[in-house]
Structure 1
Amino acid sequence: MKTKLAFSLIALVYIIIFKITNFENGDIASATILIYVGVPFLVLVSLILFIISLFKFYKEKFNTRSLYFVTLIVNLITIVLTFNIFLFFLNPINW
């Protein structure tokens, strides 16, 4: 379980680094590797870990003191930040 939490935190930190690189302001040089390699991979990792955590959290009868709850929250934050990045790509003004 601790490895799943570690993967979740790595994904969250990676997405936060992507947001800090200021890609939204057009600085594509610093974020190219993050876009093409990291973001799609970590989106898949976050979604898979979110589904696993949700299932385990349900099996424990919604115990908020478990590590599954923490992993669930971390993955939810990562998914929301990733959705924000994809909304940026869908906006035609940014192209």
Structure 2
Amino acid sequence: MKLYVGNLSFSTTEDDLRDLFAQAGTVTSVNVIRHRDSGRSRGFAFVEMSTQVEAETAISMFSDYLLDNREIRVNIARPREERSDRRRGGRRRS
């Protein structure tokens, strides 16, 4: 089950999150989201736990947990929305 982890310090690494969330169970993946151009952290990540029970344990253990001097937020990740290939608004050129 995928978790959203927000309010991260820009210095928090995937290894930091993997080590922390391993206290709640088996971590199957960690992905710190970065700016496309600069490579700098955007301040949030996705952590995937192997079971729903482990994910719920992680939420209860780490919501408002102090990591790198920041109170992190942990929630179940929302499904990614489908992106449309169509442009929104504006005038089309012909």
TM over 0.5: no
More helix by share: 1
Question: Which entry has the higher C-alpha Rg, 1 or 2?
Answer: 2
More strand by share: 2
